[in-house]
Amino acid sequence: MRCPLKISNRGTFFSILCLLFFIFSYQVADAQESLLAAEETLPDSAIVFDLIESIKFADGTQVKSIAKSEIDGLRDLPISFGENVGIESVRLMKKKGDAIEVRTCREYDAGLKSGYSPANNMERKLASFFKYPCALLNALEIASVAEESFITDVGVVNVELLPFSLFPHIGEYKSRQEFAIDLQTTYQQKIETGELVVRERTEHVLEIEDTGVVQSLREIVRADFNNDGIEDVLVDEGNWVTQGTYSSYGIIVLTRKSLHGKFEVARPLDPRQSPYFFDSTFE
């Protein structure tokens, strides 16, 4: 609406309406700016992320939602090693022989950053128990509340939105690698041709197989992880072969940038994250 610069008796009523309109518009814009400023200055205790699946620690602590103010304390809780009874820690070593025992995310992060790694294959498998809870805490530390979302009603189980480039190609199991660069080909299309087989599909979990390679995608939490204002989903990814011992586990962040778009890996993420957060599954 545009106000005339010259006010006449005949136009007084419309000029008053115009003035009121500008006052109202200014107040709305000012209120919106104040709301955004308030969100940006929220204390960490007021920013809470609800997990799709809770984290269980070895001391019995079970966490379903995490406030930013709680993240640092959770780093000192002992990691649970599932059904591996009697296991309380993982042994990490350096090439020159130095070794340390780690049982919390803080200890594990510090060990990796100092050049330590699992001592052997057994320790490597046990170390995989750190990847989910520790990478989650690191991711939530840089996360924020999203301003908009294109994944409100969809998730990793929507195979029509997953580009086949997300599927792993491991060692000798590379018969489909030519499709990795084809962002238009989806999991759904590969399912229809019989090249992908769904092994499990629940509300937040997809497990799918292609010629001896299995991929598991499990949603963990939704937030904005790369500061672009768009909601992303943090996914626990596992890959393994049905004939062999190879397996890998890591965290990926998927996003969707429009209502008509497909899922894609969210980039860039904060480079200050621990090494295992940027797992090989990101590439």
* pLDDT per residue as tens digits for the range 126-161: 888 998 899 899 999 999 999 999 999 999 999 999
Measured between alpha carbons, how far is 179 from 162 in angstroms, rounded to an integer?
13
pTM, to two decimals:
0.74
Cis check: omega of the bond before 268, within 30 degrees of 0: yes
Measured between alpha carbons, how far is 279 from 95 in angstroms, rounded to an integer?
21
Query: What pLDDT does residue 9 have?
Result: 52
**Beta strand 205-210 with 197-201: parallel, antiparallel or unpaired?**
antiparallel
Lay out the sheet containing 264-265: strands in order across: 197-201, 205-210, 213-223, 232-241, 247-255, 264-265
Query: What pLDDT does residue 36 have?
Result: 46
φ, ψ (nearest 5 deg) of residue 109: -55, -50
- Residues near 140 by beta carbon (within 8 Å), at least 6 away in sequence: 49, 66, 68, 71, 221, 223
When mean pLDDT is compared across 61-65, 169-173, 182-186, the lowest value belongs to 169-173
For the cut 90, the answer to whether the pLDDT of residue 270 exceeds it is no
Q: Where are the domains of the chain?
A: 45-142, 159-282
For the cut 70, the answer to whether the pLDDT of residue 34 exceeds it is no
Percent of the chain at pLDDT > 70 equals 73
Confidence band for 122, pLDDT divided at 50, 70 and 90: confident
User: In the chain, how long is the greatest CA-to-CA distance?
Assistant: 93
Query: What pLDDT does residue 1 have?
Result: 44
- Do 220 and 249 form a contact (C-beta atoms < 8 A)? no
Query: What pLDDT does residue 180 have?
Result: 47
For the cut 50, the answer to whether the pLDDT of residue 171 exceeds it is yes
Confidence band for 89, pLDDT divided at 50, 70 and 90: very high
71: closest CA among 138, 131, 130, 132? Answer: 138
More confident residue, 12 or 229: 229
- Most confident option among 118-122, 244-248, 269-273: 118-122
- Do 257 and 230 form a contact (C-beta atoms < 8 A)? yes
Report, as an integer, the average pLDDT of 59-77: 95
For the cut 80, the answer to whether the pLDDT of residue 27 exceeds it is no
Measured between alpha carbons, how far is 202 from 157 in angstroms, rounded to an integer?
7
Percent of the chain at pLDDT > 90 equals 52
